[in-house]
Amino acid sequence: MSLDHWSSRVRRRWMIPLLASLPVAAVVVGLGACLPVPLGDPETSAVDPRLAGVWTNDFKEAGGTCLVALPYDARTYFVHVVDVERAGAVELPLEGPVSLDRIEQANQELRNRPWTVRCKGHYKAWLTKVKDATFVTLSPLSLPGGADDVVHVVARLNLLNDDKLFAHGVDAEHPALKKAFQEKDARDAVLKAVAENVADENLYGDDFDVTYERVADKGVLRAIAEAFSSK
């Protein structure tokens, strides 16, 4: 599949609703960053064009996680997340020296194996400004009847430069958020709680930090295109 065909295929399919599973949310920033209500209002948001593109958190020959962020309109993005690995394992001796030739042979064996998708999901995403911070909410596109299962990935974003993005997941166990979840208007309460605690380091989970890099290498893009086309 060519990169142009793959890109066209992704764009044609971005409105297909799919139920995003918890494992998919976990590979974005971690399960603890999944909130029962979203942060902010997509209708009042605005797209930052610098975030559009293909991002990976260490996509190697053996696999990894990548996000494809496409602006859907002036306010929101469509985000496709896929976590893949090469099928099977390449055996190397557990003891003794391993020659460079054997390592290269193992790498070639790995490259020749098909991709296996561990999990993937589709999200509607938008940005929310809270004081001087920018947060992203990834809300799963779900099947009818799945509303009770929906969780929203929420993270503070720092665009370190045009090619590197740091996501700091919001900790759903923070006391102010746990209290806000119980309020009648939970969405407003959550936004207020985040605003009041935006400078509190405890609002962000230590285990929910992920750095993504923009993918420009054509070889990696081809590998990702192959991963998207795999079953």
Quick count: other Cβ atoms within 10 Å of Cβ 111? 11
pLDDT at position 84: 67
* 127 domain residue, yes or no: yes
pLDDT at position 51: 92
* 166-182 per-position pLDDT tens digit: 989 999 999 999 999 99
Q: Which residue has the tokens 């993918």?
A: 215
Whole-number average pLDDT of the chain: 74
Query: Which residues contact residue 212 at a Cβ distance below 8 angstroms, ignoring those fewer than 6 apart?
Result: 55, 56, 57, 67, 164, 165, 166, 167
pTM reported for the whole predicted model: 0.73
Choice between 11 and 95, residue whose per-residue pLDDT is larger: 95
pLDDT at position 176: 97
* 70-98 per-position pLDDT tens digit: 999 999 999 988 776 665 554 544 555 65
C-alpha closest to that of 190 among 213, 208, 174: 174
Structural domain for 174, as ranges: 18-84+118-216
* 89 domain residue, yes or no: no
pLDDT at position 49: 92
* 6 domain residue, yes or no: no
* 111 domain residue, yes or no: no
Q: What is the mean pLDDT of residues 12-38?
A: 50
Percent of the chain at pLDDT exceeding 90: 36
Q: Which of 97-106, 198-207, 220-229 is modeled with the greatest confidence?
A: 198-207
Residue 107's pLDDT band (boundaries 50, 70, 90)? Answer: low
* 231 domain residue, yes or no: no
* 183-192 per-position pLDDT tens digit: 999 999 999 9
* 147 domain residue, yes or no: yes
* 112 domain residue, yes or no: no
* 202 domain residue, yes or no: yes
pLDDT at position 58: 64
161 DSSP β-pair partners:
164
Q: What is the distance, to the nearest Å, from the Cα of residue 162 to the centroid of all Cα atoms in its chain?
A: 17
Using CA atoms, how far residue 188 sits from 33, 36, 127, 172, 222, in Å, is 18, 13, 16, 16, 43
pLDDT at position 47: 95
pLDDT at position 80: 85
Integer Cα distance of 175 and 158 in angstroms: 24
Residue 220's pLDDT band (boundaries 50, 70, 90)? Answer: low
Q: What is the mean pLDDT of residues 50-55?
A: 90
| Helix, strand, or coil (residue 81) | strand
67 DSSP β-pair partners:
55, 81
pLDDT at position 198: 96
pLDDT at position 21: 35
* 112-148 per-position pLDDT tens digit: 666 566 667 888 999 999 999 999 999 988 544 555 5
Structural domains of the chain, count:
1
